[in-house]
Structure 1
Amino acid sequence: MAEGTAPAALGDSEFDRDTAVAARAAEPGAYDTGLSRGWTIMGAVNGGYLLAVAARALRDALPHPDPFSITAHYLTPSQPGPAVVRTQQVRAGRTMSTGQASLFQRDEQGNEVERLRVLAAYGELDALPDDVRTSAKPPVMPGYGDCVGSESAPGGRPVAGDTAILDRLDLRLDPATAGWAVGAPSGVGAIRGWLGLADGRDHDPLSLLLAVDALPPTAFDLGLKGWTPTLELTAHVRCRPAPGPVRVSLTTRNLAGGLLEEDAEVWDAEDRLVAQSRQLARVPRG
């Protein structure tokens, strides 16, 4: 966020504008949207951003406001431009509802192509009991001011190619997990960092879906370069985050058969585990 600029409020930020959906009057459950080029990396639309777009449509379609669990299968690569999200309410109970959504775009021949299919459970985070019993611990990492931003990478960009998404994020990596940016990956398969939005908008349940997929992939720390396409991603939102940037920890324990898993934990300023995810991704071919 530029010095002297007031933080963007919910609804006023670039993230909110770029994930906005508009209901089709003539097609119940369908929502028009536009996928922004601003959330691409290496030319690909970010998977967490796509998940947030679908989740926003489901929030409008279902009787409960917050995603508790959401699973997405990425069927074909999405492109910046017009899209439609079609939703269906599967079940609605007193405290939770379940819905599914598919995101479609048209190909060069004008045919609709399904890009993303989602199944999600929604509820109300503020109505959950406050009892917490956990052995999970926040990631051990330096403070925000001692972590490194993209301006510290050679040429001011840690990733070659189109990295428009970095201009929309306030991302500062733990130096211990940023060696790959200067040609010295640790080989551990771990990435940690602080994450906010560049315009200062505080995180909410929808932006947590972006957060679990916004850091560079752990494949980079394994010494692999290139696009790491997500095949499937499941995210759990555990509570509404406190204001301020969150800490995100990504780990990979197994790479085999050209596939790797990536586990994410997202912690807020009050040391609460606010979101978790696991995804299956293809190993970069480059």
Structure 2
Amino acid sequence: MPEAAFVQATIGDSEFDRDTAVTLREPGVYDIDLSAGWTIIGAVNGGYLLAVLGRALADALPHDDPFTVSAHYLTASRPGPAVVRTNIVRTGRTLSTGQASLFQYDEAGNEVERIRVLASYGDLDSLPDDVRTTAKPPAIPPVEQCFGPQDAPAPVPGSSAIADRLLLKLDPSTLGWVLGAPSGKGEMRAWFGLADGRDADPISLLLAVDALPPTAFELGISGWVPTVELTVHVRCRPAPGPLRVSIATRNLAGGFLEEDAEVWDSADRLVAQSRQLARVRLSN
């Protein structure tokens, strides 16, 4: 039989949309079953979690598009049932601000807060076209010259279920850690997309900033690098096509490092920026 044709998923009808969809229980309160498909070494990816909260706030607030989202990761989330509680802080003509927290239950049945978010939403399509910037898209080789988890002869450390849901092609110059020869530069660059072909939108940008391997790998540090705080700025609605993501760390001190990310679309526009603080487990 001939091979079935690939049908590209669309925004609103994709695995990402289904796995981040929240169900309204009562005003401001949403239920969700966190999918195991977005885990890394058993932990639910922080960008996926941010997209879940971002979707709940988009429903709760009068504006649809995240402009700035700041999250504090309090305890590790796990796949399974969760509750998102939202609160409208302020509404205005161009921006509205809200707070959201995600809770799960412990073994005793008590609610445990996993993440707390403060975010401002607006309408990206209403922004002026004037752009004055010195930022430039990252220099990444063509996608066919880059490598993803599926190209590795053995499983890539840190990759698991989420790798099957992403189209991730890493710049070879940031892959020294795979060969046991990390560059020490603390940089990671990649082409990014969703494996089912769904184009990016403002909510999926919240995933994109936290989907690459940690820059700590290129510093010669392996293992889990849990996020403490993550702030994302969404600058404009991305054009269809693959994204380019670059992440850099300049300072590791006291067991913590920062990661600064930029996300560029197919039209060479800077569509999102982020900074996160992460904890590093240094070996003695």
Q: TM-score range by the shorter chain?
A: over 0.9
2:157 is equivalent to residue 159 of structure 1: yes
> Equivalent pairs: percent with the same residue?
71
Find the counterpart in structure 2 of residue 11 from structure 1: 12
Find the counterpart in structure 2 of residue 142 from structure 1: 141
2:254 is equivalent to residue 279 of structure 1: no
In the alignment, the residues of structure 2 paired with residue 113 and residue 99 of structure 1 have an alpha-carbon distance, to the nearest angstrom, of 20
2:181 is equivalent to residue 180 of structure 1: no
**2:129 is aligned with what amino acid?**
D
2:228 is equivalent to residue 231 of structure 1: yes
Find the counterpart in structure 2 of residue 194 from structure 1: 191
* 143-152 vs 207-216, greater mean Cα deviation: 143-152
Q: Are the aligned partners of 1:153 and 1:182 in contact in 2 as well (CA < 8 Å)?
A: no
2:216 is equivalent to residue 219 of structure 1: yes
Offset at residue 245 of structure 1 (A): 1.0
**2:239 is aligned with what amino acid?**
A
**Paired residues, what number?**
281
Point out where structure 1 has 5 or more consecutive residues left out of the alignment: none
2:99 is equivalent to residue 100 of structure 1: yes
SS class of match (1:134): coil
**1:111 is aligned with what amino acid?**
N
Offset at residue 159 of structure 1 (A): 1.6
1:174-209 C-alpha deviation (Å, 9 max, x unpaired): 000011112111110000000000000000000000
Find the counterpart in structure 2 of residue 69 from structure 1: 68
SS class of match (1:24): strand
Find the counterpart in structure 2 of residue 116 from structure 1: 115
SS class of match (2:10): coil
Q: Are the aligned partners of 1:243 and 1:269 in contact in 2 as well (CA < 8 Å)?
A: yes
TM-score (norm 1): 0.96
Offset at residue 12 of structure 1 (A): 1.4
Find the counterpart in structure 1 of residue 261 from structure 2: 264
In the alignment, the residues of structure 2 paired with residue 229 and residue 284 of structure 1 have an alpha-carbon distance, to the nearest angstrom, of 9
Q: Are the aligned partners of 1:219 and 1:284 in contact in 2 as well (CA < 8 Å)?
A: no
Q: Are the aligned partners of 1:154 and 1:182 in contact in 2 as well (CA < 8 Å)?
A: no
Offset at residue 4 of structure 1 (A): 2.8
Point out where structure 2 has 5 or more consecutive residues left out of the alignment: none
In the alignment, the residues of structure 1 paired with residue 242 and residue 83 of structure 2 have an alpha-carbon distance, to the nearest angstrom, of 31
Following TM superposition, the consecutive aligned residue runs of length 4 or more in structure 1 with deviations greater than 3 angstroms are: none
In the alignment, the residues of structure 2 paired with residue 208 and residue 3 of structure 1 have an alpha-carbon distance, to the nearest angstrom, of 30
In the alignment, the residues of structure 1 paired with residue 28 and residue 150 of structure 2 have an alpha-carbon distance, to the nearest angstrom, of 43
2:244 is equivalent to residue 247 of structure 1: yes
Offset at residue 6 of structure 1 (A): 1.4
**1:281 is aligned with what amino acid?**
A
In the alignment, the residues of structure 1 paired with residue 162 and residue 116 of structure 2 have an alpha-carbon distance, to the nearest angstrom, of 23
**2:275 is aligned with what amino acid?**
R
Offset at residue 168 of structure 1 (A): 0.3
Find the counterpart in structure 2 of residue 87 from structure 1: 86
In the alignment, the residues of structure 2 paired with residue 284 and residue 21 of structure 1 have an alpha-carbon distance, to the nearest angstrom, of 34
In the alignment, the residues of structure 2 paired with residue 264 and residue 187 of structure 1 have an alpha-carbon distance, to the nearest angstrom, of 18
1:217-248 C-alpha deviation (Å, 9 max, x unpaired): 10001010000000000000000001111000
Find the counterpart in structure 2 of residue 44 from structure 1: 43
SS class of match (2:274): strand
- Root-mean-square deviation (Å): 1.2
In the alignment, the residues of structure 2 paired with residue 140 and residue 117 of structure 1 have an alpha-carbon distance, to the nearest angstrom, of 35
Q: Are the aligned partners of 1:233 and 1:280 in contact in 2 as well (CA < 8 Å)?
A: yes
In the alignment, the residues of structure 2 paired with residue 285 and residue 106 of structure 1 have an alpha-carbon distance, to the nearest angstrom, of 31
Offset at residue 3 of structure 1 (A): 7.9
In the alignment, the residues of structure 1 paired with residue 281 and residue 219 of structure 2 have an alpha-carbon distance, to the nearest angstrom, of 11
Offset at residue 269 of structure 1 (A): 0.5
